[in-house]
Amino acid sequence: MEQSSTSALLQGTVLDLASDVVSALRSGDHVRAGSTLTGGGAGEGVARAAVRVLGADTLLPSVLLRIPPDPGQLAVFKDAVAAHPPRDEAAPTVVWSHWAMTRALRRAEQPLTTPPADEPDAEPDARWLDGAGWQFLTHQLAVLAPLALPGEECAVTRVARSRPVDVARGFVRAVRRRDWQQAAGAGRWLTLLDGVPDTLGLEAGLDFVRLMGGSDPRVALQLEAARLMPAGVLL
């Protein structure tokens, strides 16, 4: 009973946090967008866990809109990164999600005027995607949608760039399966890829995903990210 209520609390916190990010992306102002992390509503542990679920996208407004992160949010994000390093046997998506968070944190903490510091964390490899079927590839990329950023350069983005048709097929599959979160994540990647067949109709496809699944803030987050991509700053 206690477990299920904790799980429900976490799920609710993830949705609230995603709503905050969506509001910030839409308004361009995270301060007025919501305060799930700093309002004291969720316990510290739950807040950190929710940040882990949303990953680097928690800081997406500061990345895409070039606005400095709220110090309170940044502190929780930093705690979340520090408190849950991936275990040795962690799945590649968990390792990559942590890597993306570490990278986002470093970028958020660095004043734009200073040269980039050395990257202390070695980039994980993307060998688990070697020869992956297009269905699995798209699923994994959707899970790692926080890596889909303009100018992002890492092993996962290189795999995505090499397989635009497969990601587009995965988008079609996700829509057909009514898996709006995967569709939105794949759609976000597709906005960044060259070689996507024109017949996909990505813009109308993203509108369709919004129409059918946009009430879920996690879906809306990916769609907002996709909307801002073309105008996004280079990292």
Residue ranges in contact with other proteins by CB under 8 A:
133-135, 162-166, 168-173, 175-177, 194-197, 199-201, 204-205, 208
- In the complex with other proteins, the residue whose CB is nearer, 2 or 194, is 194
Shortest spacing between CB 184 and other proteins, in angstroms: 13
- In the complex with other proteins, the residue whose CB is nearer, 9 or 196, is 196
- In the complex with other proteins, the residue whose CB is nearer, 88 or 198, is 198
Shortest spacing between CB 152 and other proteins, in angstroms: 19
What torsion do the CA atoms of 97, 92, 131, 137 make, to the nearest 10 degrees?
-40
Q: How far apart are CA 187 and CA 175, in angstroms?
A: 10
Shortest spacing between CB 226 and other proteins, in angstroms: 15
Local structure of 48: helix, strand or coil: helix
- In the complex with other proteins, the residue whose CB is nearer, 87 or 176, is 176
The answer for residues whose C-beta is within 8 angstroms of residue 52's C-beta and 6 or more apart is: 80, 84, 97, 101
- In the complex with other proteins, the residue whose CB is nearer, 63 or 175, is 175
Query: Are residues 226 and 184 in contact, defined by beta-carbon separation less than 8 angstroms?
Result: yes
Q: How far apart are CA 66 and CA 54, in angstroms?
A: 19
Half-sphere exposure of 219 (CA within 13 A, CB side): 20
Query: Are residues 174 and 142 in contact, defined by beta-carbon separation less than 8 angstroms?
Result: yes
* Structure tokens given for 204: 């109308």
Shortest spacing between CB 92 and other proteins, in angstroms: 21
Tokens 């046997």 label which residue?
89
Shortest spacing between CB 134 and other proteins, in angstroms: 7
- In the complex with other proteins, the residue whose CB is nearer, 37 or 209, is 209
Shortest spacing between CB 173 and other proteins, in angstroms: 4
Query: Are residues 126 and 156 in contact, defined by beta-carbon separation less than 8 angstroms?
Result: yes
How many angstroms from the chain centroid is the CA of residue 23? 15
